[in-house]
Structure 1
């Protein structure tokens, strides 16, 4: 049985779009329902999504562009191993963008409604500390809410595209390698600095938070050589 067959199957109201197929396969890869090295079958995916192979193939091409899938001639299509080089690149890009987001939010403030949402998201993180997938969703919601709060259009879409490899390593580290409580404490520190209008503190807290995964990257690569490519 291939990785595609093992992935969770969700119901769609009608034939899903290429974007919906891409998003669902991407999520399965991020949370390791589809493991590095798993072979992807267009036929099985088409049956899973109730569509033809054409939109499935297009979705897979897009995931190739994100570095999550590779096509090996005469062998097939496979989930890539997590690249430490790509993780470090993603962290560099993400830090540059998210520090700018937090700086703007701190300098200009966020609406009361947005601040309430951030409080609610942190509460959800605390409630989901024992559920890595649920926690990851709440973690992303925190960062997306900050980005949306500065009303900079689709800036989070750019961050999201860059951080796919980063996200896989982050998920693999939860909760035993990277303590969830550490991440929650860091989110609270970021939000407190934004509320206080303390730009220096908010930038420092953001950089510290985004460096957390890299602290354990080499140890994870040594523990999971079949999943992680130590190409940094």
Structure 2
């Protein structure tokens, strides 16, 4: 019985995190823990524990004055900072994976790569964002550096949320086909570089892949108007993504 409360908290955590990732809980939106606890059929305690855990991961913010929670906004300043961190960690991780990955790590990445391909073929934006994030989390694990892995996991959580916004919603899938063709090419070439034990090539491809994602986000921002997209923050900031 000792494990049951933890299981309930984990369920609440997974449910709330999914809502954040697919923007059911939109950036800047207050989170009503009472309503969520009723929807899940659990008490407030595991829900609040889940919210505190998500706040430590940076996906939600806590208003200590009102003891409330709200979804972390996605303003251009934070997105720009995210891509800076993404570029640094992706390149460092790629070098380490090229020299440290085991056969098991490589096989797991190949399986994850195929899951991304299936999600693209299914034209499922949520699955594309989640499977892509999973693939890159496996890379972080294969680096065998716990500090880099921890940072990368946080980056890919935030990146998954932005990815769903840019890959789903109002964007026609036809406009994304060229982008996804390049995504698949990068994934395939990156894993091949890992298998060849080539850290220089792996780093080059990883950096290119981050820029591809960044360019897709910038294209999305240009296509949508301020009134169409609510990031819950200051999207008119002068911050630049390049």
TM-score by length of 2: 0.75
Following TM superposition, by how much is the alpha carbon of 1:125 offset from its aligned partner in structure 2, in angstroms?
Answer: 1.6
Taking a change above 3 Å as real, the CA distance of residues 162 and 19 of structure 1, as seen in their structure-2 partners, is farther
Structure 1 residues not aligned, in runs of 5+: 1-12
Q: Quick one: distance in 1 between partners of 2:50 and 2:33? A: 10
Taking a change above 3 Å as real, the CA distance of residues 37 and 89 of structure 1, as seen in their structure-2 partners, is closer
Taking a change above 3 Å as real, the CA distance of residues 58 and 205 of structure 1, as seen in their structure-2 partners, is same
| Greater RCO structure (CA 8 Å; 6+ sep) | 2
Following TM superposition, by how much is the alpha carbon of 1:115 offset from its aligned partner in structure 2, in angstroms?
Answer: 2.0
Moved more, 216-225 or 197-206: 216-225
Matches within 5 A, 1:206-225: 206-222=206-222, 223=224, 225=226
Q: 2:164 aligns with which of 155, 168, 171?
A: 171
Q: Deviations over 1:124-163 (max 9, x none)?
A: 2212212222222321222122222233347433322234
2:90 is aligned with 1:98: yes
Q: 2:136 aligns with which of 143, 163, 182?
A: 143
Alpha-carbon contact 1:94-1:159 (below 8 Å) kept: yes
Moved more, 61-70 or 90-99: 61-70
Q: Quick one: distance in 1 between partners of 2:88 and 2:183? A: 19
Q: Deviations over 1:96-120 (max 9, x none)?
A: 2222221012134x32232222222
Provide the aligned C-alpha RMSD in A.
2.9
- Look up the match of 1:9: none
